[in-house]
A and B are shown apart, each in its own frame.
Chain A
Amino acid sequence: MLQITNLHANVGDKPILKGLTLSLNAGEIHAIMGPNGAGKSTLGYVLSGRPGYEVTEGEVTFNGQNLLDLEPHERAAAGCFLGFQYPVEIPGVSNVQFLREALNAQRKNRNEAPLSGAEFLKVAREQATALGMDMDMLKRPVNVGFSGGEKKRNEMVQMGIINPALAILDETDSGLDIDALRIVGDGINRIMRRPDKAVLLITHYQRLLDYVKPDFVHVLADGRITRSGGPELALELERDGYKELAA
């Protein structure tokens, strides 16, 4: 589904990704772990087409299509979803309005008919309920005044409503309390654990992986994948840390 080959990328003039190669098939969940500042969020931004993140070398294909040729909104319409490490506030715009416009913009891009207000609200209500979020929160402005944990949960509600083929989830677990962690973990499994979907799960801790069992675990350090393995690699990292690994 997603094929990243020898990816190099700069932020400003600074090289951050330095020859990263990674391949995800449909039906797989891959966890990415790695030290602070290694380039994990950068990878998510580069895959989503954030302005200012310049690819200097390498290729990315998504379902056979050159992903790097697409504008950010076209990548979203093609089925890529980025769950933000730091979700952004948009004052005066309700979550409902934001998501309905986003979803219908994606549908328009795919030549699908827009969802009516009623159809949209039905989907939104289902997803909010499944993730234990109050409908009242969906009516509030996007992330404004949300707690850290509420913002992360809101990212998952958005993912449920948009229903993407590929989700890149950047530290969705950080900031969540113990119950919220379970609810979010269940949500990821329910929405994304499907034969036709894939997940790139960026995390620092094993605890999320107790709920969302990865098929593969990779270590991203200094801009490239330095080690790959099965779920046991995460346990090993938790025990020994990255220093041990590098040694």
Chain B
Amino acid sequence: MSDDMDIKDKAAWDAAERVADYEHGWSSDIETDFAPKGLTEDTVRFISAKKNEPEWMLEWRLKAFASWKTMTPPDWAKLNVPPIDYQDAYYYAEPKAKPKLGSLDEVDPEILRIYEKLGIPIAEQKLLAGVEGGEDGGLPQPRVAVDAVFDSVSVATTFRAELERAGVIFRSISEAIKEYPELVKKWLGKIVPMHDNYFATLNCAVFSDGTFVYIPEGVRCPMELSTYFRINAENTGQFERTLIIADKGSYVSYLEGCTAPMRDENQLHAAVVELVALDDAEIKYSTVQNWYPGDAEGKGGIYNFVTKRALCQGRNSKVSWTQVETGSAVTWKYPSCVLNGENSVGEFYSVAVTNNYQQADTGTKMIHNGKGSRSTIVSKGISAGHSNNTYRGLVRVAPNAEGVRNFTQCDSLLLGSLSGAHTVPYIEVRNPSAQIEHEATTSKISDDQMFYAMARGLNTEEAVTLIVNGFAKEVLQQLPMEFAVEAQKLLGISLEGSVG
């Protein structure tokens, strides 16, 4: 891979080498693009200074960092993760020389291969890869506003004007901290508390950038909002931070998608996503996660420790999480809903694919505090190769939450005989009026199904893709159209080489 390391990577790498050699006084030198390797209070100050943050933000970060030093990583997940050396990583990388490439020829061929397999239109490929002119030619329809995060800094935002006319604020979180400090202060860390867990606390200290969305009262966001994440520079931990606020009676659909290039060294990713929905508001949050999963022998790949939580604060508020998780060597992720509002609704639709030596421990928590709150959980786990795939879910009903309902369905599909599927449901009901239903199945792709599809003209890979998509249909159909097609193809790509 290092042979075709692109120009930008090389520049960033060189800059890092220079900084790493420079022992003293670096924290005041905010002209550099890289924070040196390692994590100290100075790293935190460097990041904050780089971003010209107000004092309150720096203090918040430092408080988190002080706590983090006293914490230990969670060990309850069914994951086998080697100890991570937090001092052996970079915590901030800004692609100063922006990826202004002349044409797609200059983009990493592996990334292009995946784009092509995904069927992403050329215009959008250019936009994603940061090719000059890609933005003008891009995305006439479907209408998606893209906020691309390259490494740690947002480099492209489109459709901003139209969103502004509707009163929608769609910004990088760094900008929002400066432009809308009151809104940010009101909700940042209120949904996922600073000390929630080891990875969330780490994120508070060193988050690099991310997205901020505010939908004003009564506004239906006029387009899908979308962020594409990519990790570009080697050894750079990714600490995205997202905050979405849906004011009374508003609606927004948000798409988060990732494609990551091949990298040998493990990379840490610890994002925090906070959503809040007030009275009658609705947020639909869809994710396609395709970080580098490591190679067929289990070498390399992203460690993905994500904390995603939604506060359904208002009455009749609704949050729907849909995720298609195909990438990462390790996935630790439980998008949850705290259903405080009366008659509020939480939904979790998930497809998690693991192949080769990937490990996923993912699921949701539905915390029913509001009267009449309802939740639906549909989880589809697909395990191939030597991988392990665990659904872990909690449904909790508070003592004075009358009339709560939950429906949970967990289905596992096994390919081959070496992979594992596990279901760990926790149910804590403290109000007798609750109606809780749980269904679970485990199945295999049968030889009959494979041969039937092949006899009609599909090759092995196409047949697996078709059958797996059928298995995951209930979840995939929750995705916005333009995303669903991409996700279907992604399932096939992730299972390449798993059968036959």
Contact = CB atoms under 8 A, between A and B. Distances in A.
> For this complex, into which size category does the number of interface residues on chain A fall?
20 to 34
Contacts of B454: 49, 71-73, 76
A221 B466 CA distance: 37
A49 B451 CA distance: 9
A77 B457 contact: yes
A106 B457 contact: yes
Given A105-B457, A109-B457, A158-B456, A51 B447 contact: yes
A73 B453 CA distance: 8
B197 interface: no
B462 interface: yes
Contacts of A103: 457
Interface stretch (B10-18, B397-405, B428-436, B468-476): B468-476
Among A76, A99, A101, A158, chain B packs the most CB atoms within 10 A around the CB of A101
A12 to B, nearest CB: 13
Contacts of A101: 458, 462, 466
Contacts of B453: 90, 98, 102
Contacts of B472: 92
B458 A105 contact: yes
A102 B469 contact: no
Given A84-B452, A93-B466, A141-B470, A71 B459 contact: yes
Interface residues of B, number: 22
A103 B462 CA distance: 12
Contacts of A81: 455
A52 interface: yes
A84 B456 CA distance: 11
A139 to B, nearest CB: 13
B448 interface: yes
B451 A93 contact: no
Interface in B426-451: 446-449, 451
A92 to B, nearest CB: 3
Contacts of A76: 454-457
B471 A48 contact: no
A51 B460 CA distance: 11
A72 B500 CA distance: 13
**Chain B interface mostly:** helix
Interface in A29-76: 45, 48-52, 71-73, 75-76
B457 A51 contact: no
B155 interface: no
A52 B466 CA distance: 22
A162 interface: yes
Given A50-B451, A90-B449, A73 B466 contact: no
Interface string B117-133: 00000000000000000
Contacts of A75: 455
Nearest to A144: B470
B466 A99 contact: no
B470 A93 contact: yes
B466 A98 contact: yes
Contact of A105 (B452, B462, B469): B462
Interface in B102-152: none
A241 interface: no
Nearest to B500: A51
A91 B454 CA distance: 16
A88 B448 contact: yes
Contacts of A72: 451, 454-455
Interface in A103-131: 103, 105-106, 109
A82 interface: yes
B458 A52 contact: no
B467 interface: yes
Given A106-B457, A162-B456, A92 B447 contact: no
B118 to A, nearest CB: 17
A19 interface: no
Given A50-B451, A52-B447, A90 B459 contact: no
A149 interface: no
A15 interface: no
A8 B458 CA distance: 27
B457 A93 contact: no
A105 B467 contact: no
Contacts of B446: 88
A87 interface: yes
Contacts of A92: 469-474
Interface of A: 45, 48-52, 71-73, 75-77, 81-82, 84, 87-93, 97-99, 101-103, 105-106, 109, 141, 158, 162
10 contacts: A75-B455, A81-B455, A84-B455, A88-B446, A88-B449, A92-B472, A92-B474, A93-B467, A101-B466, A102-B457
Given A48-B455, A101-B462, 16 more contacts: A50-B455, A75-B455, A76-B454, A76-B456, A77-B457, A87-B452, A88-B451, A90-B466, A91-B470, A92-B472, A93-B467, A93-B473, A98-B456, A101-B458, A105-B459, A109-B457
* Shortest beta-carbon contacts, A-B, top 4: A92-B470, A93-B470, A92-B473, A102-B456
